[in-house]
Amino acid sequence: MKAKVTGLEGIVAADTEIGYVNGAEGKLVYRGYWAKDLAIRHTFEEAAYLLWYGELPDDSALRSLREQLKAHRILQPELKRLLDAMPKGTPMMNVLMAAVASLAEEDSEWPPKAEQAIRLTAQLPAIIAYRYRKVNGLPWLEPNEDCGHADYYLQLLFGHRPAEAHVRALNAYMILAMEHGLNASTFAARVVSSTESDLYAAVCAAIGAMKGPLHGGAPSGVIKLLEDIGEKERAEPHMRGNLEKGERLMGFGHRIYKTPDPRAEALRDVTAALSGDDPWLGLARHAERTAIRLLAEYKPERKLHTNVEFYAAAVMRAVQMPPQLFTPTFTAARVVGWTAHILEQAQINRIYRPQSVYVGAMPVEG
């Protein structure tokens, strides 16, 4: 079928006070603050509070949020049994959908509540880490540490205190990945929530959207691209070959940004501080420069730049995140944005119900 209307490009579907994305000027703002500044100067908890409640927390609000997150980190035995029972081969994103669906309780009905957003945000790293360690035959350890969200996530995954630089890098990544306007997964969450379905169901829909390689699935594609390239000399012939075959270069291009993605710019700085002269990072930078040159040659009209996923992959690799956990980790960060949008949707709710243009056959008369 040849369709004229695809992808809802340029269609405005909601007013929001949560995030501002200006693709022409490369700007990203969370509730009046530059996302890049938040990523460098603030913690995950502070940025999450800002998205949920509309302002940065004072000391007592921050303490209270940290306590709530800590209280909700513990996985209930029923959830552990569910995670144990799922087949070993079930992809992690599908595991997350099942686990999140199971967290809904009888009193989870619409309207959504901020406490549910906090609970889900606290549970996701633990769910990911528990399942990862289970599938890999590793013992489950629950550190009883009063530490920040990114720190705790790394401890759960690896079973030891992470390097301070790794915590800072993951914290910055998770803040930059938290919110991005009406992207596919956030839109999916708002659509489901607009039916007055519960917050957990709306987040399940968002996770489903996030799984796709054109959205949250891209960082593993970036690692594969760089592994296939292998060495600097092969970057140009390899990517030229991809483009000749009509394939996309993962980590480049964006529906909204026709300038460099500000999140990629911020994460480039974060990785530079992290890895010094790490050869892998050297290869990534070389591949990035080559890709930009080739994309300008093959798609001169398209203004294709590095997107957040390219440097997200670099951060993930630097903190030793296993590739199968890249998209789940993106999910553990974006859940804050999803739930902020779900809470906002409830304040102004009207069910989403767009229309389609019928271009099919009509019954033959007579």
- Note whether 167 binds ligand CMC by CB under 6 A: no
Catalytic residue among 238, 254, 305, 341, which? 254
Q: Which window, 40-48, 139-147, 276-284, 298-306, contacts ligand CMC (CB under 6 A)? A: 298-306
CA nearest neighbour of 186 among 209, 169, 168: 209
Of 113-121, 212-220, 273-281, 315-323, which part binds ligand CMC (CB under 6 A)? 212-220
Name which of 180 and 317 has its Cβ closer to ligand CMC. Answer: 180
For position 251 contacting ligand CMC by CB under 6 A, the verdict is yes
Closest residue (Cβ) to ligand CMC? 253
Structural contact between residues 34 and 172, judged by C-beta atoms closer than 8 angstroms: no
Helical spans, DSSP H, in the chain: 35-41, 44-53, 59-71, 77-85, 92-103, 114-135, 149-158, 164-176, 184-194, 199-211, 218-229, 232-244, 262-275, 279-298, 308-318, 326-347
- Would you count residue 173 as binding ligand CMC (CB under 6 A)? no
Whether 309 is catalytic: yes
Sequence-distant (≥ 6) Cβ neighbours of residue 103 within 8 angstroms: 79, 119, 120, 123, 200
Binding of residue 338 to ligand CMC (CB under 6 A): no
Min dist CB 275 to ligand CMC, Å, is: 21
Is residue 218 at the binding interface for ligand CMC, with CB under 6 A as the rule?
yes
Pick one of 18, 304, 314, 319: the residue that binds ligand CMC (CB under 6 A).
304
In the complex with ligand CMC, which residue's Cβ is closer, 57 or 262? 262
286 is catalytic: no
Q: Is the peptide bond before 111 cis (omega within 30 degrees of 0)?
A: yes
Q: Among residues 326, 328, 323, which one has the least CA distance to residue 93?
A: 328
Q: Which is closer to ligand CMC, CB of 308 or CB of 343?
A: 308
Give the single-character DSSP code of 47: H
319 binds ligand CMC (CB under 6 A): no
Sign of CA dihedral 68, 74, 77, 80: positive
| DSSP-assigned states of every residue in 328-348 | HHHHHHHHHHHHHHHHHHHHT
Stretch that binds ligand CMC, among 128-136, 264-272, 273-281, 303-311 (CB under 6 A): 303-311
Where residue 188 falls (left for φ over 0; alpha for ψ -120 to 50; beta otherwise) is alpha
- Within 10 angstroms of residue 350's Cβ, the number of other Cβ atoms is 8
Binding segment toward ligand CMC, per CB under 6 A, in 63-71, 146-154, 266-274, 301-309:
301-309
Contact residues for ligand CMC (CB under 6 A)? 7, 180, 183, 214-215, 218, 248-255, 299, 302, 304, 307-309
Q: Catalytic residues, which ones? A: 254, 309
